[in-house]
């Protein structure tokens, strides 16, 4: 039966009980009222009539002239109110005596005797009715105590039923709901084996069937999902193991969750000794893992398999909805590239060194050729000589840069630190670029206060950097614009050199790359592009002096290069 019908039946039953109770109460009240009405109607009135007759008999005829008529009226009323057994006979004899009484008016003695007989009859009727009153009173008392017992029993029964209903009904409704809530919580905690056991054929039964079906479906889904996840896991493991780079994954508590074969070989421990372990614990006894965890250097030199290898370290943070859940460290084996790079550096250094001498002698020869003492040259020859001189200068500049680069890459950079006023750096640099600025019709505005403190720097290298920034700014400026050079003191103990141009600007995506070696922004015109080394060398020079170099640029508005040097 459905809960709705059960509720309906239960409440109807209680309602019926209440109705039965009140029905009984009404019935007995009716009975009691009937009993008392019977006493009043049947017996009390007879007593009144007979009492009236008796007192009329006693009244002196002179005072009550209608006395006989009144007696007859009461007698007639009594005749119509016969209720008890034998009452009629007594009433009839009373009537007879009264009839005789009326006819014996002239004979007072006979009247007296008849009056006595009448009183006897009256007394008989009264006694009979009083007895009847007593009996009826007793009957009413019986009825009332019976009513009390029956209504009391019925009331107790109703109370018991109602009380049982009150105790059990909330539980009947609430217990399955509580059980359902618990089961839903279990499902939410991924315990899909949870089932509901409501074996009733009501709504709860339907609910438990639906819930169990849902749990079964979820469990099936979970199992199939698990199979998919396991498949994906195996696939990723295969890929990870096939990689030539070393890979180690950590969770957010630094527990190693996976490691590939290359990484195992490097660390020198098998996979089962690494996976599931707290990384810092292993790092305590394993130099390589410690290096991997703490080193900030991107490039690492690792001695493994009887040879020196070079790796770059990359850390990928794994997040889920912006919450850090782990990281993967990738060590890329760059030994081959490193060797190639070293070969390239040596090659460039040798070539540029070898080139410097012949280029210098070409320059020298050009100087001699320009001298009138060697011989007159005509205008065309002079123009040609000037061209050769320009190209020679350019060649010398490039070989100089390549040599610097070689120095930097082999770590042979020599710094001559000294305390110098920023103005010195500015003057040297501006002088050096004056010629190309004039050629390109770009003016240079300089703001460098004489009161600025000295900087601690290598004058040559810092000037070199400023020349490079200024010549880039001039190169990329439009004709007729101004390149601004500002030297200012910072809040800390540093001096900033800022070179701002109003040229084409640099696209945001290239900003992070322009300090890389040999990087040139694609699409530059032939007269603009150089070796792509200038900024890379500048960065190394500035950082070697504990300074910093940075760039800001807006497309179409120009670029601003800044480097800062410590005060000295």
Q: Which residues bind ligand ADP (CB under 6 A)?
A: 468, 472-473, 476, 501, 503, 506, 514, 519-521, 524, 529-536, 559
Strands 482-489 and 443-448: parallel
Question: Which residue number, 38 or 521, has a Cβ lying nearer to ligand ADP?
Answer: 521
| C-beta of 132 vs 487, nearer to ligand ADP | 487
> Rounded to the nearest whole angstrom, what is the least distance from the CB of residue 393 to ligand ADP in the complex?
15
Residue closer to ligand ADP by CB (options 165, 519) is: 519
Query: In the complex with ligand ADP, which residue's Cβ is closer, 124 or 503?
Result: 503
DSSP 519: -
Closer CB to ligand ADP, residue 293 or residue 514? 514
Cβ proximity to ligand ADP: between 28 and 519 the closer is 519
What residues contact residue 321 under an 8 Å CB cut-off, 6+ apart?
A: none
Contact between 468 and 488 (Cβ < 8 Å)? no
Burial of 427 (0-12, 13-18, 19+ CB in 10 A): middle
Q: Is 35 or 501 the residue whose CB approaches ligand ADP more closely?
A: 501
DSSP string, 219-273: HHHHHHHHHHHHHHHHHHHHHHHH-SSEEEEEETTSBEEEE-HHHHHHHTS-HHH
Q: List helix spans (H) across 3-44.
A: 3-38
To ligand ADP, the closest distance from the beta carbon of 260 in angstroms equals 37
Tokens 């703490």 locate to: 294
Strand, coil or helix: 549: strand
Nearer to ligand ADP among residue 361 and residue 529 (C-beta): 529
* Residue 535: CB minimum distance to ligand ADP, A: 3
Pick the closer one to ligand ADP by CB: 249 or 534. 534
> Which CB, 6 or 520, lies closer to ligand ADP?
520
- Is 487 or 506 the residue whose CB approaches ligand ADP more closely? 506
Structural contact between residues 270 and 314, judged by C-beta atoms closer than 8 angstroms: no
Residue closest to ligand ADP when measured from CB atoms: 530
Nearest approach in angstroms of CB 432 to ligand ADP is: 15
Beta partners for 455?
Answer: 420, 567
**Token pair 């105790």 is at which residue?**
167
Cβ atoms of 457 and 463 closer than 8 Å: no
Q: Is 447 within 8 Å of 487 (Cβ atoms)?
A: yes
Q: Could you tell me the CA-to-CA distances from 99 to 69, 82, 298 in Å, in that order?
A: 12, 19, 149
Q: Do 549 and 561 meet the contact criterion of CB atoms below 8 Å apart?
A: yes
- DSSP tag of 442: -
Report, in Å, the least distance between residue 551 CB and ligand ADP: 8
Helix, strand or coil for residue 518? coil
Distance (Å, whole) CA 566 – CA 254: 39
DSSP string of 125-147?
Answer: HHHHHHHHHHHHHHHHHHHHHHH
Nearest distance in Å: CB 392, ligand ADP: 18
Minimum CB distance to ligand ADP, residue 359 (Å): 18
Least CB distance to ligand ADP at residue 516 (A)? 9
Positive/negative CA dihedral, 140, 141, 143, 148: positive
Nearest distance from residue 524's CB to ligand ADP, in Å? Answer: 5
The 3-state DSSP composition of the chain as helix, strand, coil percent (nearest 5) reads 60, 15, 25
Contact 360, 392 (CB under 8 A): no
* Rounded distance between C-alpha atoms, residue 369 and residue 227, angstroms: 85
Residue 118 or 408: the one with the smaller Cβ distance to ligand ADP is: 408
- Provide the minimum distance between the beta carbon of 372 and ligand ADP in the complex, in angstroms, as a whole number: 36
Say how many CA atoms lie within 13 Å of 96 toward its Cβ. 9
Listed in sequence order, the residues at least 6 apart from 372 whose beta carbon sits closer than 8 Å to its beta carbon are none
Q: Minimum CB separation from ligand ADP for residue 440, in Å?
A: 13
Of 403, 391, 340, 334, which is closest to residue 366 (Cα–Cα)? 391
Rounded CA gap, 122 and 50, in Å?
6
Closest approach of Cβ 514 to ligand ADP, in Å? 4
Provide the minimum distance between the beta carbon of 522 and ligand ADP in the complex, in angstroms, as a whole number. 8
For ligand ADP, the closer CB: 172 or 519: 519
């Amino acid at each position: 039966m459905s809960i709705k019908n059960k509720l309906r039946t239960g409440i109807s039953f209680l309602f019926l009980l209440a109705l039965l109770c009140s029905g009984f109460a009404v019935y007995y009240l009716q009975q009691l009222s009937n009993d008392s009405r019977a006493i009043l109607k049947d017996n009390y009135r007879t007593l009144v009539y007979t009492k009236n007759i008796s007192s009329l008999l006693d009244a002196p005829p002179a005072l009550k002239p209608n006395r006989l008529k009144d007696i007859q009226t009461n007698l007639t009323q009594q005749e119509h109110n016969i209720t008890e057994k034998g009452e009629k006979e007594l009433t009839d004899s009373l009537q007879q005596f009264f009839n005789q009484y009326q006819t014996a008016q002239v004979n007072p003695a006979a009247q007296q005797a008849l009056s006595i007989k009448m009183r006897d009859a009256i007394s008989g009727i009264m006694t009979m009715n009083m007895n009847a009153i007593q009996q009826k009173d007793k009957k009413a008392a019986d009825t009332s105590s019976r009513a009390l017992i029956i209504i009391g029993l019925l009331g107790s029964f109703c109370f018991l039923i109602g009380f049982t209903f009150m105790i059990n009904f909330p539980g009947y409704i609430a217990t399955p709901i509580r059980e359902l809530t618990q089961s839903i919580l279990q499902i939410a905690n991924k315990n899909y084996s949870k089932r509901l056991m409501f074996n009733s054929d009501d709504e709860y039964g339907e609910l438990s069937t639906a819930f169990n079906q849902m749990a079964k479906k979820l469990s099936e889904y979970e199992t199939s999902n698990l199979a998919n996840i396991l498949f994906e896991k195996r696939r990723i493991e295969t890929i990870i193991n096939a990689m030539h780079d070393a890979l180690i994954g950590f969770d957010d508590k630094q527990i190693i969750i996976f490691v590939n074969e290359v990484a195992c070989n490097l660390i020198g421990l098998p996979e089962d000794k690494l996976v599931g372990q707290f990384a810092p614990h292993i790092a305590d006894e394993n130099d390589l893992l410690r290096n991997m965890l703490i080193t900030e250097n991107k490039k690492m030199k690792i001695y493994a398999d009887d040879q020196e290898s070079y790796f770059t370290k990359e850390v990928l943070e794994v997040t889920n909805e912006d919450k850090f859940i782990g990281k993967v460290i990738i060590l890329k084996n760059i030994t081959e590239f490193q060797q190639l790079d070293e070969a390239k550096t040596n090659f460039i250094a040798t070539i540029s060194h070898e080139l410097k001498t012949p280029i210098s002698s070409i320059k020298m020869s050009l100087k001699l050729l320009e001298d009138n003492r060697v011989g007159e040259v005509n205008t065309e020859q002079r123009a040609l000589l000037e061209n050769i001189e320009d190209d020679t200068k350019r060649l010398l500049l490039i070989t100089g840069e390549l040599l610097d680069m070689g120095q930097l890459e082999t770590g042979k950079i020599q710094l001559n630190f000294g305390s110098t006023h920023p103005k010195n750096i500015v003057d040297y640099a501006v002088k050096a670029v004056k010629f190309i600025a004039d050629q390109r019709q770009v003016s240079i505005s300089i703001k460098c206060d004489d009161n600025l403190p000295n900087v601690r720097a290598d004058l040559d290298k810092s000037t070199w950097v400023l020349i490079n920034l200024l010549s880039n700014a001039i190169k990329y400026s439009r004709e007729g614009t101004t390149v601004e050079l500002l030297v200012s003191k910072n809040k800390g103990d540093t001096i900033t050199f800022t070179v701002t141009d109003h040229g084409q600007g640099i696209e945001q995506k290239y900003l992070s790359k322009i300090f890389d070696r040999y990087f040139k922004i694609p699409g530059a015109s032939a007269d603009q592009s150089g070796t792509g080394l200038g900024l890379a060398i500048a960065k190394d020079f500035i950082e070697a002096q504990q300074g910093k170099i940075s760039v800001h640029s807006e497309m179409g508005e120009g670029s601003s290069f800044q480097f800062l040097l410590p005060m000295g």
